[in-house]
Structures are given as structure tokens and as C-alpha cells.
A and B are shown apart, each in its own frame.
Chain A
């Protein structure tokens, strides 16, 4: 009986949860209490996917405090193919040093993927954030491969409906809005079980009605 169990242990088909959690991922504080408590902040050196059904539920704001921190480094924060104009007054109000921001406009998915890959590999970016309207597993695999060797914050945003069902991205996060709240579901993460329904107040609400 004992031999049979050992055989199973040596089988390459057995997934060992412990091994994965042993990889030491570095985190940067998200400065959002619910997230910091649940997962310890945003991982560096691992690709994070943010999906949401619509723009405007506070999805980018989840990264803002981390970006503020990263903008103190002498490196770029690359925003690749953003859907609208990244509005400088808002970003600087949030404390981000906007002279570190590098906006990269692309016209198709392969250019976006290429630009993200270049930015990740160049070692000159503290954060690389991309927006996809469409993406393939192959592209994401390549990006994750690039991320593996870096200590960069790497994330991409995509509409829930366009996101592929299976992706090699180690962190998947869906973002929804519910009145004043931004609801976060971590559907996939490295070294742990999914976590559902973390909530934070939409930062715009915090700001306009902050004292309430």
C-alpha cells in the first residue's frame, strides 16, 4: 500500500500545491486594505489580468497606489494602448510622478503585445500596463515568460467577454462595480485558492464624498 502511494507521489501528473507557493513572489503594497490583507499586495514579476464588464468601476484605481509608489523609482511606467487619454491632472492628484509615465499608442494586438514585451524586457520600466481588446493564449504565455525574469509590475486589462477562458496568466482578477463599491474577485492566483468578493470604495467616491 505504502509503495503505491509513493508511486503516486513521484508521478509527474500530480499537482503539488506546496511547490508553487514556495516560489517566492515579491509583493508591492496595494494600499487597499482588503487586498493587502487577503493576498499581501500586488505581485511583482507575475502577470496580472484585470477583467471587467465595463470601464469605470474603479479598475485602474486598484493599481494607482502601487503606481504612485513605483513612480518614485527612476524608471518608466509604461501605459500601452490605453483606451482613452490617461488624464495627467488626475494621475498627478493621485500622487503619481507623471514624468515617469510613458504612453505607447498601438494599432493592433500584436503591436501591443510586442510593446509590452519590449517594455518588460528592457529593465527600464517599474510597471508595464497594457490594454487588450483581444488577446491569445500564445501572447500571454510569451509575456508571462518575459515577466518571470523581472521584478516589474505587469498587468493588462481586458473586457470580460473578450478574455480567453484559459490563460497562462498566474493572476486573474475580475472587477465589478456595485454602487459606491468596487468588488474584486481573485479567480486565479499563484500559490493559493481563489478569493471572492473583496470590496473597496470606488476612489472617486472616496474623493468627492470622502468625509462622509
Chain B
């Protein structure tokens, strides 16, 4: 087994604010008395904040500093999300509190083209999720975690190497503050030095768990990890630290969740056709936006594009406090057969994505296909249709390229129709007499006529009177 450990040194702040979010100097404090600064963002770093600074000295540096209490619950939740997300790289991932996620990569490393390409891939996606990470891999989970926590970016594949490395790590990794203090009081600085002491004495003075941990880290005794379960339902909520009406920061947050949705769907080998975004504003009113796709998808870029177009059209709540992304249904992705011609599948896929993008901005009903229907009445001989759907053949008569949605009544002079001047009839009549069965009886004589400015139009005379003339189409 080979364990890759992702350590998140800044999880305390990143659980609240993704790393790209450009907010004012912000810091996280612990619950101690007096409270100490334990994490801060880039802007706070610039003005000179330091770790373990007291809150009052931090405020002395900047009065604009925003301070939030640490939320361990949120941090663990975040780590769990990452562990779930990481299931795309391995069937076994696990949270190693307080700041690590473990991925068993031994069985999947070949699939992802070796260690280097896998770590590169993970780093890139972790960045997109808004986290900073340090990665190490080793043959034991605890070994990997210790290496990553000490800030090493190393990949050890043998037990011997691991043992050597572990023995050189500082004792601060190994236990709680009290234990570490008493170890230090013996003059011991590294883990290796503890391992050299008589086991019985160490157990007596410092407790059994210390040696147990070292044994697990170097692989003398097994260290099973609880696997992360694959979730049944996808609903993620993002609380914004600062309420916003800025679309781009809302989209940033949504993007992060869509990436998680993509990995959720790919774990379950499905796509979604219905999903929703709920935006909650300060007065706790919820603004629901539902999305409907014509074909299941889990492509995060496509989904983000759709959401962006749609949100551009919607009036958003003035101050959004939280965003929830919910997947309302899952359906299997249609299997893709590889075509002999390389581009064909891609074209179909592009075609569907185009329709969805257009619909997201213009409205569902404003993008459609057309079909012809074998019906004698011209207005019933066509219909809106699902794009790409085959329709029946119509007998071919002379028909105009443009049809007016409703026939337009023409003025007449001495029973002759007028449209900006007299019309010259050049073909006709074609009698259409049909529809008696559904009480939309139609009896008309159709003509092709030319206007004074040489346009060709399609007009009809209503029977039996033959006095009312209508414009119904244009030969464009």
C-alpha cells in the first residue's frame, strides 16, 4: 500500500475563505485566553501579522482586521468533502484529523500515469477548490501524514527510507503539548531518539500510545484507516463570510461546488439533468434557480457556463449570504461509442452544449427545432420541435420560406388586395379546403403576388365570399 497524504496547513482560514477570495485582512483566532492568531490570509500577512500573536497586538497593527473564531467542525467538514472528492483517484480515502486527507494510491498510481502526473493532477484540482496543500507519500498512513505535516514534499516507496526519515522528524508531531513538553525536558528532540530508549521505560513515563504511534508510522504494526463512504445525495452549502451582491464572487463559490458535484457524479458513474441553486439573502429569503438539461452531464465547465449565463439573466438577492447547490436527479450517462471518424462524438456533444447554453440565457422555449406536419392547412403544416428530431415528409407544393405567425388582413380596392400599392397576381389560385373534421374549417384560395417593389408574397382570399384578402407568407 502506498499512502499519499495531503496536508492543509491553512485549513483554518481556507475552510472559511477560499484562497482566491480577495477580502480584507482576515485572521482566525483560537479559543484560548487570551485568544491567539492561528491563521490569516495573504493581505494580513502583508501588513505583518504573525502566528501566535495575541489578538490585541494584531489589532494594534490594523484596526481593519476581520477576525473569526476557529471552527473545527467546519474544518473537518471540509476535509471530509475533500476526502469524498479524492475518491476519484482511489477507492480508499480517509480523513486524518485535524488537517490531513489520506489517499491510498498504490492501487491506482498506474492508471494515472505514475506518481508525478498524479500529484500534478491533484495539486491542480486542489488549487481550483481553493486550498493550499503539501503532499507526501509513504508506505504507512501515519508516516505520510507526519512527513506532510512537517512540510516535506517527499515520496518514499520503501520502509527503510521511511524509517530513516521518520527518525529525524521532531517530537512535536507525536503527541499532545503536555507529552511533548515532558519529552523535551529529557533533552530529546527527534522521534528517533525516543525509539532508541528502552521501550518499557517510555511506556511507563509517557504512556503506551507514543510508541504505538511510532510503530504504526514505520509500519511495524498495521494501521487500518476508515474508508470514506460514497455519499447518496449531493447537496452542498457555502456560507459566505461577507454577504455579497457581486455575481463574480458568487460564481467563484459555485464553481468550487460544481467541481465537487462533478466528482460526486463521476464516482457514481452518472450525470445530472436537474439541479438547483438556492441563494439565501440576509432576511433568510431563499431564491431558487432550477436548471434542466436535455441530456445528463457532469462536465464542470459546461455546468458552470450554464450557471453563469443563467445568473446573468436573473435578478439576484441584494445581499447573498449562502449558496446551496443541490443535485435533483441522476441518470446514467449515455454510453459513447467511439466513432470511426474522430470528431463525430465531439460535434454531437458540442451541439447539445450549445443548445443548453443558449437556453440558459434566452429561455428554454426560445431555442427550438422545426418540423413539418402533413396537414393541408398551412399554419398547421409546421410545428416547433425538439432540436434534431426527425419529422414526417410533406407533399411538396410551392410554399413561402417565411410564414406569418397570423395572417395579416390586407386593404382592398375594388375587391383587389393592396399592400403598399396594388398587387400583381402571378400564380394561383391554389385552393385549400380542409379541416372540416376538427371545426377549424378552412376554405381559401392562395395566390403568389408581386408587390410594387418587386417582392413576392403569398396571399389568400377567404371563401366563399372571396372579399377578404390576407397576407400569409413571403418568398424570401
Contact = CB atoms under 8 A, between A and B. Distances in A.
Interface of A: 53-61, 64, 74-76, 82-93, 98-106, 111, 114-115, 118-119, 122-125, 176-179, 202-205, 207-209
Interface string B389-421: 111011011111111110000000000000000
B376 to A, nearest CB: 11
B390 A122 contact: no
User: Which of A87, A93, A115, A207: most chain B Cβ within 10 A?
Assistant: A87
B473 interface: yes
B404 A99 contact: no
B469 to A, nearest CB: 17
B404 A84 contact: yes
Contacts of A60: 401-402, 476
A49 B391 CA distance: 31
A101 B353 CA distance: 16
Contacts of A177: 453-456
A208 B449 CA distance: 11
Given A102-B387, A111-B362, A119-B354, A88 B476 contact: no
A124 B351 contact: yes
A156 to B, nearest CB: 14
B475 A84 contact: no
Interface in B349-408: 350-351, 353-355, 357-358, 361-362, 366-372, 378, 381-384, 387-391, 393-394, 396-405
Given A111-B362, A204-B448, A205-B426, A93 B396 contact: yes
The A interface is mostly helix, strand or loop, or mixed, namely: mixed
A83 B402 CA distance: 8
B400 A204 contact: yes
The 9 closest A-B pairs by CB, nearest first: A56-B455, A177-B454, A84-B402, A124-B351, A124-B350, A204-B475, A90-B399, A88-B382, A88-B372
24 contacts: A55-B455, A56-B457, A56-B476, A57-B456, A74-B348, A76-B351, A87-B378, A88-B370, A88-B383, A88-B391, A89-B396, A90-B401, A92-B372, A93-B397, A93-B399, A98-B370, A98-B391, A101-B370, A104-B366, A106-B366, A118-B358, A123-B347, A204-B475, A205-B426
Given A74-B344, A106-B366, A124-B354, 14 more contacts: A57-B454, A57-B476, A74-B348, A84-B405, A84-B473, A88-B370, A101-B370, A102-B387, A103-B370, A118-B354, A118-B358, A177-B454, A204-B400, A205-B426
Nearest to A75: B347
B371 A91 contact: no
Interface residues of B, number: 56
A157 to B, nearest CB: 9
B354 A209 contact: no
A205 B449 CA distance: 10
Most B-side CB within 10 Å, residue of A61, A85, A123: A85
A197 to B, nearest CB: 15
A55 to B, nearest CB: 5
Given A58-B475, A178-B454, A202-B475, A208 B402 contact: no
Interface string B445-476: 00010110111110000000000000001111
A123 B398 CA distance: 34
- Residue among A58, A91, A92, A111 with the most chain B CB within 10 A? A92
Contacts of B388: 99-100
Given A98-B372, A105-B362, A178-B454, A208 B448 contact: yes
B314 to A, nearest CB: 15
Contact of B400 (A54, A90, A99, A122): A90
Contacts of A207: 398
B21 interface: no
Interface string B233-267: 00000000000000000000000000000000000
A104 B381 CA distance: 20
Given A56-B476, A85-B405, A118-B357, A99 B369 contact: yes
A82 B403 CA distance: 11
Contacts of A176: 454
B454 A59 contact: no
Nearest to B390: A99
B458 to A, nearest CB: 9
A83 B347 CA distance: 28
B267 to A, nearest CB: 29
B64 interface: no
